[in-house]
Structure 1
Amino acid sequence: MRKMNGEEFDELVSFFDAMARTTWLKEVHDTLKETTGSWVDKEVLDVGCGTGRLLLRGAEEAKRLVGVDLSSEMVKASIQQFFYHELSSKSEFLVADAENLPFKDEEFDLALSTCVMFLLPDPRKGIREVHRTLKHDGMIAMLNPTEKMSQETALSFGKEHGISGFERTALLKWSNVSTRRHRYTENEMTGLLQDLHFREIKHQEVLGGLALITTAKKEQNS
């Protein structure tokens, strides 16, 4: 499976920012934020931050916010976003590869990754890197498509929930990419995270079971 590069995403900044503002993805982001609890005094990393909209949800609470993306244009958009919200002083955005994060061991309390790990040729490498950068007892929170995700099921979900126009287009594009990359059952994701020394693994279905929010904590002695 070919590894994607930053330039492929550079021209999609407007699309991804609009997708982050769709009703369906906003609801998923809200659920993910709720699932991770309070960000007060936490150092939070978003791997594949896009235009930074997920990090904005806990920006007032968090002690420090760091976003990385393979696309330099996404990073520029995130920097601009946080400047506009007067949050530049507590945020940092960098061009970086999920498989080679430019941070020291045990630096973050919480690491987010939505719609990213499943794109990697080997998601283990990205999750292992997140594990390295998390403090003991730190949490990972991810969004990934399930084995139920497909063009047909996404279209059916869209019709059932009155999703139309650009919102439907964005959902169908995501489903199309998913079928060419990685999709997971709860058991597969649990096994993967256990192998990589995470515990307290919890799953929550979203989008009618087409995607999965997964949270887990780093093992104390790993």
Structure 2
Amino acid sequence: MNGEEFDQLVSFFDSMARTSWLTSIHNRLKEQSGSWKGAQVLDIGCGTGRLLLKGVEEAEHLTGVDLSSEMIKASKQNFFLHNRANKSSFLLADAYDLPFKDASFDVSLSTCVMFLLPEPEIGLKEMVRVTKTGGTITMLNPSVNMNQQNAFMYSKEHDIKGFEQTALLKWSNVSTRRHRYSKEQLTDILKGLGASSVSHEEVLGGLAMITTAVI
């Protein structure tokens, strides 16, 4: 993977982050990650920074990393427009080799990213490494049930139309070509990396899941 393949997709991903279905998931994911009050928060694969903006008034500092330089530019712009640039840092970085010391963050997040990696376990290991003991990592990933047919049926059942449907179907299509884990598989991986507890919450009717681990 390289960032250039995502550079031309900034507008698409920013619009996807504002769909009703992904906005709802982001809100739930933030709740599941615990309090951000006074916290150092990291988003791996931050896209255009929309998820981090949800906690900008609570967190001590928000850090986003992405493989795409254009996504980083868009994140900086979004925080500038919200007059919160002083509370944020956005860096071009690889999820396999995060440029942070061990135990740097209270909350580490990753949405729609880890499943894309050729070797997700390497990214998960890094995510655990940079999270403080007692801190949380929270992720959104497609489940083993995610595929284009099931996503299409879900969109029909919930009256998801237009771009919102297109974005969901594109995510489902990519998912079938990458990694999809069961709850048990993710639990085993995360506990093997040192997580003390792992929980999962199904979203999108079981097509995806929010996973939260305490380190």
**TM class, shorter-length:** over 0.9
In the other structure, the counterpart of 1:159 is: 156
Query: Following superposition of structure 1 onto structure 2, how do residues 117-196 of structure 1 map, counting pairs within 5 Å?
Result: 117-196=114-193
Q: Following superposition, which runs of at least 4 residues in structure 1 exceed 4 angstroms of deviation?
A: none
In the other structure, the counterpart of 1:199 is: 196
In structure 2, what residue type is equivalent to 1:203? H
Q: Secondary structure at the match of 2:196?
A: strand
Question: For 2:179 and 2:163, how far apart are their aligned partners in 1?
Answer: 24
Q: Shift in Å at residue 195 of structure 1?
A: 1.0
In structure 2, what residue type is equivalent to 1:110? V
In the other structure, the counterpart of 1:25 is: 22
In the other structure, the counterpart of 1:56 is: 53
Q: Secondary structure at the match of 1:15?
A: helix
In the other structure, the counterpart of 1:210 is: 207
Q: Shift in Å at residue 10 of structure 1?
A: 0.2
Question: For 1:40 and 1:175, how far apart are their aligned partners in 2?
Answer: 34
In structure 1, what residue type is equivalent to 2:104? E
Q: Conserved in 1, the CA contact under 8 Å of 2:34 and 2:136? A: no
Question: For 1:128 and 1:171, how far apart are their aligned partners in 2?
Answer: 28
In the superposition, the TM-score normalised over structure 1's length comes to 0.96
Q: Shift in Å at residue 34 of structure 1?
A: 1.3
Q: Shift in Å at residue 37 of structure 1?
A: 2.4
In the other structure, the counterpart of 1:11 is: 8
Question: For 1:48 and 1:217, how far apart are their aligned partners in 2?
Answer: 20
Tell me the C-alpha RMSD between the 2 structures: 0.6
In the other structure, the counterpart of 1:75 is: 72
Query: Following superposition of structure 1 onto structure 2, how do residues 67-106 of structure 1 map, counting pairs within 5 Å?
Result: 67-106=64-103
Q: Secondary structure at the match of 2:51?
A: helix
Stretch deviating more after TM superposition (30-39 or 53-62) = 30-39
Question: For 2:106 and 2:34, how far apart are their aligned partners in 1?
Answer: 12
Query: Following superposition of structure 1 onto structure 2, how do residues 103-122 of structure 1 map, counting pairs within 5 Å?
Result: 103-122=100-119
Question: For 2:196 and 2:171, how far apart are their aligned partners in 1?
Answer: 29
In structure 2, what residue type is equivalent to 1:9? F
How many residues in Structure 1 have an aligned counterpart in Structure 2?
Answer: 215
